[in-house]
A and B are shown apart, each in its own frame.
Chain A
Amino acid sequence: MNARELVIDVSGVVKRFGNKTVVNGIDLKVERGEIYGFLGPNGSGKTTFIRMLCGLLTPDAGSGTCLGFDVLRQQAEIRRQVGYMTQRFSYYEDLTIAENLDFIARVYAVPDRREAVARSLERLGLQNRRRQLAGELSGGWKQRLALAACLIHSPRLLLLDEPTAGVDPKARRDFWEEIHDLAAEGLTVLITTHYMDEAERCHRLGYLAYGELLTRGTVSEVVASAGLTTWSVSGPDLHHLARRLRGREGVEQVVAFGNTLHVSGRNATLLEAAIAAERDARHEWARVRSGLEDVFISLMSGSRDNFT
């Protein structure tokens, strides 16, 4: 790991709003070319942390570097080489797509501006919508515009805050392909998402709750560290079965996935005992590998309330 260049290397980052600590001592190292997924429930501090990385918020404590520049003092240099896609669409709705891109390209002094704008329009399949006002675009198209805009100055680090919220599956797949291509070229990406399939596409993950990074690692590391045993069950009347299971010792969570239930717990013996009590001929039980979703739901219900 030491051999590789660290694009984000911060430690002990703290942010308070009033007397509420929103980010509580986060350490994070992200290597060049890595796609790092940031997960966590609403209000856990993901957006706040990203804003501190690009100098939009001043950390109350902590230190480190981003792209080799000091996070606290060299914010101007960082901004020049970072592409930040905000959670909420933040381009100008009263400008057309082309005008928005042109504005950003001017601000970053992109060489061959016109060509760069044309190229980015083409790459995102937006050429024939270039004269459309950004405000008139559908949610998914707005996201694509935002991605195009934050890529136009060829940043070295992409900070994407829920870039695919409200985007259709095909567009999401295209988007992830694009992200992987860019990462292969050496672009580093820090991305927040609430979608599990997207989390699985990241090289590494960090799970944030209540301002703290609770779990981190590759997908399999995260799943393994949760120590969760999961059984799946299918058959009739799952609704009542779920209700009965929830009351039993050892059953920590029961989650419906279409026509099956996932029943999980950290203590495998207790869990199996509980399941044995409910087994009958009508239902088919199978032990399955815990998925990321099982793990995250378990983590979320275990963490304190993020809104208080």
Chain B
Amino acid sequence: MSSNRFASYRLWALVVKEFIQMWRDRVTFGMMVGIPLMQLMLFGFAINSDPRHLPTAIRNADMGPFARTLVAALQNSDYFQVTTVTATEEETQRLLQLGKVQFVINIPVDFSRRLLRGLSPNVLVETDATDPSAVGPAVSTLRALAGKVLDHDLKGPLAALRDSVAPVNFQVHAHYNPENNTQYNIVPGLMGVVLTMTMVVITSLVITRERERGTMENLLATPVRPVEVMLGKIVPYIVVGYIQLTLILLAARYIFDVPLAGSLSLLYGVAFLFIAANLAMGITFSTLARNQLQAVQMAFFFFLPSILLSGFMFPFRGMPEWAQWLGTCLPLTHFLRMVRGILLKGNGLVEIAPELWPLLLFFVVALAIGIKRYRQTLD
């Protein structure tokens, strides 16, 4: 029907209206600005845990029996799970950068030789320290391991080596966050958490509110189309999302001294998809909820797993498999990886690409459900 096409003047009318309402509702408006700051303070301290079976790449240049024992001992410690054995440094760096492995253990070519000479060979352990709480316990294990790992192999004439200070010397080299500063991990993560919280909660409310206050009846009686109503709600909150993003970035930079290694425009770009995914989720909730209370409950039902299973609260790899699987379905999980990648590792578009398409998929699915469920009548 030609007369029933999308009209930008109607969308604009709705956007203007929404902005006025947002501005009038000072409490909510204040919260949208205040929440990021409050959360920053709340989560400013570390939350520790003890993740195991962390993916580890081994670059073993020494094929001798001592090196094999060492690798086996690492596996047995439960903290390390060797997922890749590779020969090149290029490969290990790539794995670290993509976040495929948490550790790279480099066993040098002269490992056995130096060991037999009693020269404590160096083993370089590179870690991805963007999430310090994930690597901490594993690194402590390494230090404990160093003293006794080869006890069994060092017998007979070699027994004397056991008594040297430490037959193996682990050198830990933390990448990306050398001071193991938890704030580096938390603060970029907060960006995603705050956006999830406000975007989903507020949008799930704004449409339900129209229904609850009875204004929906009026809106439906006008020529306004469903897609205009939805976009009219989405557009103002994208602006709000970007304000929050900017606030957190400023705080990250100037209060918490988080290094901003990557491209900010890339970050702002991917944030668009993330914000849109969350808004679509909120809109979908608002089409399902009968009243504002239900809408808030639904939003929290979504928010809690997001915060718990995305790798924000606990290291992703420390979670049981089912939880990781659930976490993978949440937009926040992917956004966190991208933000940490961009801000701390300086990742570019190529490195974050694997996290982009799940976001896009989520957005499309959520919006499709929302549009399908949107009641164009009062039936």
* Chain A interface residues (CB < 8 Å from chain B): 51, 54-58, 74, 76-77, 79-80, 82, 84, 86, 88-95, 99, 103-104, 106-109, 133
Contact = CB atoms under 8 A, between A and B. Distances in A.
Interface string B17-61: 100110011000000000000000000000000000000000000
A244 B14 CA distance: 63
B213 A93 contact: yes
B36 to A, nearest CB: 24
Given A86-B214, A106-B10, A107-B13, A79 B221 contact: yes
Sort chain B's interface into a size bin: 20 to 34
Contacts of A103: 13, 16-17
A66 B378 CA distance: 19
Q: State the majority secondary structure of interface residues on B.
A: helix
Q: State the majority secondary structure of interface residues on A.
A: loop
Contact of B9 (A51, A86, A109): A109
Nearest to B10: A107
Contacts of A74: 1
B222 A90 contact: no
A34 B137 CA distance: 83
Contacts of B215: 90-92
B214 A107 contact: no
A93 B24 CA distance: 11
Contacts of B4: 76
B3 interface: yes
B290 to A, nearest CB: 15
A76 B3 contact: yes
A95 B221 contact: no
Interface string B196-230: 00000000000000000111111011111000000
Interface string B341-379: 000000000000000000000000000000000000111
Contact of B1 (A56, A76, A84, A107): A76
B3 to A, nearest CB: 6
A80 B223 contact: yes
Interface string B78-106: 00000000000000000000000000000
Contacts, number: 79
A104 B222 contact: yes
B21 to A, nearest CB: 5
Contacts of A107: 10, 13-14, 222-224
A90 B213 CA distance: 7
Contacts of B378: 51, 56-57
Contacts of B268: none
B18 to A, nearest CB: 10
Query: Top 9 A-B pairs ranked by shortest CB distance?
Result: A106-B13, A90-B218, A76-B4, A84-B221, A90-B214, A94-B24, A88-B214, A107-B13, A103-B17
B214 A58 contact: no
A106 B10 CA distance: 7
A56 B220 contact: yes
30 contacts: A51-B378, A54-B221, A55-B221, A55-B377, A56-B217, A56-B220, A57-B377, A76-B4, A79-B223, A80-B3, A80-B223, A86-B214, A86-B217, A86-B218, A86-B221, A88-B214, A90-B213, A90-B216, A90-B218, A92-B17, A92-B21, A92-B215, A93-B213, A103-B13, A106-B10, A106-B16, A107-B10, A107-B13, A109-B7, A133-B24
